[in-house]
Amino acid sequence: MNQSQPEPDFGGMQVASFESRRADDIRRLIERYQGQPHVSPSMREVALEENRPSIDLANRIMTGEIDVF
């Protein structure tokens, strides 16, 4: 028995995606299935020496200065 599956369809809904490397591909895929894409990068690479606030935050978490993150 070979039943065809219904075509995926977002029905015009807004779809959020956190994608860094393949954002354009994800955007096109959502549009292909009738969705309104909102694609934002989930992360980006930054040299450690240029990112002192992140190092300070990690240190505060590891030393117990911050309990919940």
Q: How far apart are CA 58 and CA 65, in angstroms?
A: 10
Q: How many CB atoms lie within 10 A of CB 39?
A: 20
- Residue 54 in domain: yes
23-43 mean pLDDT: 94
| Tokens representing residue 42 in the block | 């989930």
- Residue 46 in domain: yes
Q: What percent of the chain has pLDDT over 70?
A: 96
pLDDT at 2: 57
Give the mean pLDDT of the chain: 88
- Count of structural domains, the chain: 1
pLDDT at 29: 96
- Residue 34 in domain: yes
What pLDDT, in 10s, does the model give residues 43-66? 877 787 788 888 899 899 999 998
Enter the pTM of the model: 0.57
The residue range of the domain holding 56 is 14-62
